[in-house]
Amino acid sequence: MLDAVHYILGLGAAIFLPAVMIVLGLCMGMSLKKAILAGVTLGIAFTGMNVVLGFMFDAISPAAKALVENTGLALTAVDVGWSPIAAIAWAWPYALLLFPLQIGINLLMLALKWTNCLNVDLWNVWGKIFVAAMVMGLTGSLILGLIAAAIQIIFELISGDLIQKQLYQICKIPGVTCTHPMMLQGPLLALVNRALDFVPGLGSVNMDAKALKNKIGIFGENSVMGFLIGALIAVMGGYDLKGILTTAIQVSTALVLFPMVAKLFMQALAPIADAAGTFMKKRFQGRAFYIGLDWPFLAGSSEIWVAAIILVPFELILAIVLSKLDMNNVIPLASVINIVVTVPALVVTRGNLIRMIILCILVTPIYLVVATSFAPILTDMAASTGTLQVGSGQFITWIQLEAPEFRWALAHAFNGEIAGIGILVVFFVLFAWYYKRMRAVNRGIDEMDKK
């Protein structure tokens, strides 16, 4: 039985999630033909997005590595990306307990009207497995690990409710929201974004990718921006002319393809969301329900990718500076395209590209410091589960630890550490402020819709 479950999960999000969506569509009254078509299209969208993202990573990562090597720094923790970390999580002996935990909490919160979000993104349950395994690794307690995971599940659902209206304004896909843990970075980003309101000359600046294009003409086109940014990264990596031009055109290609692939998510999700909305409204009068999904349905927003690529040289510079201060031991590699910060920044700033870039630069040190802190734990987890073998004196880690301050606080608070408890309390207070602020934003959106 366990082998069968692991086999199904091993098929990956591009197969697992479309299968879930087909079943959901059929349960919500869709015809077999429409449900299958929507599911297959969703699988194509996921696959296409991974292909383009992998293509861009292959173009930028070698340049990033070359830049760090040119500094002569010996960074012993390697950023391996999300895939090996997910494999470590799935190999945790108690991983399957998180499925009933997530589903049970979700159904209970729906019944108690604490959320209107039905989270069908069961593939990303591995993010909760990761937290539970991390806490158990520190404390030795399975119960504490499951409690920590439950806290994350609750916050993800509440966050999904809070951001749904903003997401609709961005992607125009009705009835869906994002329950990915990256969105738990929202409270901190919202606080910093609020502080930017008081910076002279910045409070009135509101520039998305379209406005940027109007301002600077051809230099605002995705293709040209990608070419220029890719060339800059290659120059920083010490490439020759051929390497610079090749990297530039590869990054340019990726930026042009992302919005094209993202349209497939709308084609796949809109029919399912409509069917689910109709089904729920018939049975629960007066309630609006949302389907909780992974983040890629937002990938058509050029701001995500422009901010992520502009962030790369700053990540590398910060990694070097922090290493000299003995605060970082990580070489940004597999996660150097850090979309887990640019996506929530898109939501918090409502697509204001200038603010997105500023927010991402300001919080990047948190990602590097937490990744350094977690490196020994992740390396031990890889060894204990037999997932990866790491050489002596080397460590593995993951820069894209979604909402790193929250996860660090959870792990260390449950380990009884004062710093962890203090930061977790601060996060709860900050989330309460964020909840109130986002509710006010949502009321403003409702009032605008009525006019």
Q: What is the mean pLDDT of the chain?
A: 82
51-60, 163-172, 229-238, 258-267: which is most confident: 163-172
Q: Report pLDDT digits (tens) over 365-391.
A: 999 999 999 988 888 888 876 666 666
Per DSSP bridges, beta strands 290-293 and 117-119 are parallel
Q: What is the DSSP string of 107-140?
A: HHHHHTTS--EEE---GGGHHHHHHHHHHHHHH-
Instruction: Write out the residue range of the structural domain in which residue 222 sits.
Output: 2-75+84-450
Return the higher-pLDDT residue of 290 and 75.
290
Query: What is the number of structural domains in the chain?
Result: 1
Average confidence (pLDDT) over 163-173: 89
Return the higher-pLDDT residue of 311 and 213.
311
Q: Report pLDDT digits (tens) over 234-244.
A: 877 778 888 88
Take residue 121 and report the two structure tokens written for it. Answer: 């993104």
Confidence band of 447 (pLDDT split at 50, 70, 90): confident
Confidence band of 101 (pLDDT split at 50, 70, 90): very high
Output 433-441 pairs: Cβ under 8 A, ≥24 positions apart: 433/187, 433/191, 434/162, 434/186, 434/187, 434/190, 434/191, 435/158, 435/162, 437/190, 437/194, 438/162, 438/163, 438/186, 438/190, 439/162, 441/165, 441/166
Q: Which pLDDT belongs to residue 159?
A: 96
